[in-house]
Structure 1
């Protein structure tokens, strides 16, 4: 029953559209607006990835509909994104554009499995500095990838965006470089000025139209998008063999990881800035996986949730999935009605759109917030950004999480401590032979040895009381250290009493052997006063036993030795 209920929770329902009667006008306007904004981005991302403008357009249409219907967010808009372009670029360079649909199918299947296995909440464990460093790195890569088209040159042979951008200058035709540069500058200027005139003006589309019209009328020497299909292709399974699949597993896993991370982050941000209700992380993964599978069947590329388009959707009044569906219909209308016009768009104009998009991804206020927070967060942010630009996006996220975990563990270990306390008044004779230690904070593998060393070095005592009621975190290593601590003290003839093991730690302490290591089961206490009374009685009995033994030894000596 639970399995059936979980499967139903991952599927579309009429409840997804319960508010459409109230919101359909806003959804319609938002869908048209997002479709206009998404057109140049879809074309640009398709070209930039190497798969072609038609691939980006197909992805925005097909994946946009499927993700909207099956996804776990009520407001998210999906399609090709800059981060996906960064990952796909090396794959296309190594295997050709024809391999992209296969990668899309494989990655989509991996994402669906992730959703079915309830891995949607994993993204909540990614620290904020890692996310911001990752975003900064992606923005830099997207910008660098546009440099060749912006100067009218060919990309360099290197798979590294920075190196490739530098290498592209070797193929530069200095006599005609002015025209693509001016096209980029014109689009960038219009995109920056349009929102100042009116918030809803689609600056990217206006910029592209202006540059395309001028370039066509004046016959400027600018490379164009070229021929586009005037209809969607029929869905079909791309050709592949086992060897191809084996070769692409690593790339597909990388694409799947990126699609999952970016989509869930986008959905989380969308839920936080809108009043459209929470999102279902596992269903979102299933929806995004199905979207990439469908896109691959139509010859498209992998898709993810797109935070920029989602934000436009929210600002334009979108409140349900209908808005994202309308956005895909608008793009579909472009395919059937305007491909001849779209094919004349200069590539440099698309580069201008992506350069501005990349620049807008970088929030100086956010960067200052991260850098101004703590030294460890700053290190995590910088390392993640540098590795993203220099090596690989997923590796960058992994290393960023590892570095953040290291700093978190170091901080947690410092929160733990062992403190010797005075026995409560009134003082009694022989109290100096009793040591009371309080364990605080966290006792785990990162701090356990330090506590062990502190307690076992105690001298001139007969009883050690270990207070554990203030211990918040205890792992197996910490419990094992307490066991070793008891062993070490008992071997020296020091009786160990334990007070206040918390209920959530009792099972672990029992399994590891903390309880069985005590000299007697009665050496485990709940109340501190009872433990201290027992300790004082023990010291008194030990003192009496020592006196009796001394008297016995004295009386047993021969008279001539007295």
Structure 2
């Protein structure tokens, strides 16, 4: 029996790869030329990163390259974003390192397979939109915690410490590093410091240049020419094979599947969150719209394939996706080309990769860790309500000192309890006579709509602007065919706002500013006004204004009107 037409349309809307959409709408030679240039640019950036991420995770460098090639191809080929670039990312380093320490590489293969199946199931169950509702303090907390963990994992190679395997557990790691700090190599520290300095300098004065690759090439050339006593890829792992990724299944401890489920869930969670965050960032840069459930499905398939080709967990890489967009990539062909160029580099440059100093790769990862820490967002959230600050700091501390799985679980549970507490306060406030006042903000009244001058639009929010509804604010702007000259956001019905709501409001204001649209916040209550002031969202007299009610907002729209 054939599927009804509406169901087929719905499936196409949810799961059709963006590649098919692009090809159906027309793809020209000019598009191909642009995508090939972007793919080459991203491949140059991804080459040193893939090797560095693999080594930091505790495996040979070719594992990272295989992941970037296989998973990168599939994420672009099947994904729900036009410009997403997939591959290994720094977020997986602490998790992968801990899994290999505990279960071996075969255990990692099983965890990655299970994570891939979880992502496929999440896509089929249409959970893509739900994953956007993770509170901002939880996301920022574990992201900052991961960045610290990445830095700590690189101390051995940064300083050239003469020690065995670094323990995965935080306190044991710190003790081991302290015991061996006297064995530090000045040559390794100098190479690492030079690479960090090169990358930072190039980003400041030549941001379009591939800083990672240039720093790696200079560090390798100098250490080889000067015969510095530093450990290299070849000295630790042997020669990098100049061969295609091979399909194989190593020994997998299936009997320990239940033990690995928490780690597999963490990998799936990170892959889902990071890929969707990357897709949202890409949408903001290109003006496109990704298919979240289709993206999860592609991420799941890519992780299953990466495991079967002896790779690592993969997801959408925000930095590489941004490089792709800036280089002119606008279709999935750029991501496919990036995987092809990486394969070509591996086949041609494998003999030279063995000379790369591990200290140089560690220096590159230090820069990656700093970028990932997102210090500005951390500071911004620390100005928010006390409950959000507690969630942020607790998630951060648990990520660094214990386990990412525990950090996410505790962060989400605490955020849920915080939400329930806030909702109970709202119910009490709403029952107070002092807040039941005459209100002219009855948004859909025809007479009020008629008051709007030409080029002015209004939208009313009713209810708390918290993490579970903050993402809907971005949809407000999409409802209008052309950007208005002025936008009234009526907020008398908003009793409270949290840090995620402020973040969403900030992004909305930035989007309006990019389109030349002035914004007036009408009828702000005391709690939202106080939190906005705490987090430095203040009226500037031009782009953003506050009005006590709708009548005053209308009057403000007539100022400086054409």
Work out whether the TM-score is over 0.5.
yes
1:171 is aligned to 2:177: no
Counterpart of 2:168?
159
> Are 2:135 and 1:142 aligned?
no
C-alpha distance 441-336 of structure 1, shift in aligned 2 (>3 A): closer
- Check if 1:324 corresponds to 2:339: no
Cα distance change, pair 412–334 in 1 and its aligned pair in 2 (3 A) = same
For the residue of structure 2 that corresponds to 1:416, the secondary structure is: helix
Q: Structure 1 residues 414, 348: CA separation in 2 closer, same or farther (over 3 Å shift)?
A: same
Selected match of 2:15 from 6, 10, 16: 10
**8 Å contact kept, 1:31–1:318:** yes
Q: How does 1:178-197 map to 2 (within 5 A)?
A: 178-197=186-205
Alpha-carbon distance in 1 for matches of 2:337, 2:58: 27
Aligned to 1:230: 242
Do 2:145 and 2:400's aligned partners in 1 also have CA atoms closer than 8 Å? yes
Partner of 1:124: 132
In 1, the alpha carbon distance for the partners of 2:107 and 2:244 equals: 19
Cross-structure match for 2:458: none
Residue matched to 1:242: 254
Deviation at 1:134, TM superposition (A): 1.6
Equivalent position to 1:348, from 347, 359, 363: 359
Gaps of at least 5 residues in structure 2 are 435-461, 465-491, 496-562
Which consecutive unaligned segments of at least 5 residues does structure 1 have? 422-439, 443-469, 474-562
Partner residue, 2:533: none
Assess if the C-alpha contact under 8 Å between 2:263 and 2:405 holds in 1. no
In the alignment, structure 1 residue 304 sits paired with structure 2 residue 315: yes
Tell me: CA distance 1:403–1:228, structure 2 relative to 1, closer, same or farther (3 Å): same
Q: Is 1:290 matched with 2:301?
A: yes
The equivalent residue for 2:276 is 264
**1:161 to 1:228, Cα distance in 2 relative to 1, 3 A:** farther
Rounded Cα–Cα distance in structure 1 between residues aligned with 2:246 and 2:165? 35
**Contact 2:110–2:254 (8 Å) recurs in 1:** no
SS in structure 1 of the partner of residue 233 of structure 2: coil
Deviation at 1:116, TM superposition (A): 0.9
Does the C-alpha gap of structure 1 residues 118 and 208 become closer, same or farther in structure 2, counting only changes over 3 Å?
A: same
Farther-moved stretch of structure 1 (383-392 vs 94-103): 94-103
Alignment of 1:213-224 (within 5 A): 213-224=221-232
Of 384, 401, 408, the match for 1:390: 401
Instruction: Tell me if the contact between 1:62 and 1:295 (Cα under 8 Å) persists in the aligned partners.
Output: yes
Name 2:469's counterpart in structure 1.
Answer: none
SS at structure 2 position matched to 1:411 = helix
> In the TM superposition, what is the alpha-carbon distance from 1:57 to its structure 2 partner?
0.7
Match of 1:376 in 2: 387
366 and 253 in structure 1: CA distance in 2 versus 1, 3 angstrom threshold: closer
Given that 1:129 and 1:381 are in contact with CA atoms closer than 8 Å, whether structure 2 keeps it comes out as yes
Q: What is the CA-CA distance between 1:19 and the residue it aligns to? A: 5.7
Alpha-carbon distance in 2 for matches of 1:306, 1:86: 17
Shift in Å, 1:24: 3.0
**Structure 1 partner of 2:49:** 41
Cα distance change of structure 1 residues 244 and 232 upon mapping to structure 2, 3 Å threshold: farther
- Aligned-pair CA distance for 1:99: 3.4
Q: How far apart are the structure 1 equivalents of 2:396 and 2:181?
A: 29
Task: Tell me the distance in 2 between the aligned counterparts of 1:281 and 1:61.
Answer: 22
Shift of 1:84: 1.0
Post-superposition Cα deviations, 1:520-545, rounded to whole Å, max 9, x if no partner, equal xxxxxxxxxxxxxxxxxxxxxxxxxx
Identify the range of structure 1 (373-382 vs 18-27) with the bigger mean alpha-carbon deviation.
18-27
In structure 2, C-alpha distance between the alignment counterparts of 1:441 and 1:408, rounded to whole Å:
13
Counterpart position of 2:557: none
Q: Retained in 2: the 8 A contact 1:144–1:162?
A: no
Distance in 2 between the 1:191 and 1:372 partners? 31
Equivalents in 2 of 1:315, 1:405: separation in Å?
38
SS at match of 1:336: helix
Correspondence for 1:363 among 346, 371, 374: 374
Structure whose CA Rg is larger: 1
Partner SS, residue 39 of structure 1: helix
Displacement of 1:405 after TM fit?
2.3
Contact 2:92 2:267 survives alignment (8 Å): yes
Normalised by the length of structure 1, the TM-score is 0.71
Distance 1:441 1:285 in 2: 30
2:265 aligns with 253
Q: Secondary structure at the match of 1:220?
A: coil
The alignment status of 1:106 with 2:114, answered yes or no, reads yes
| Distance in 2 of aligned mates of 1:146 and 1:155 | 13
Q: Tell me the CA shift for residue 142 of structure 1.
A: 0.7
Instruction: Rate the CA distance shift 1:230–1:173 in 2: closer, same or farther, 3 A.
Output: farther
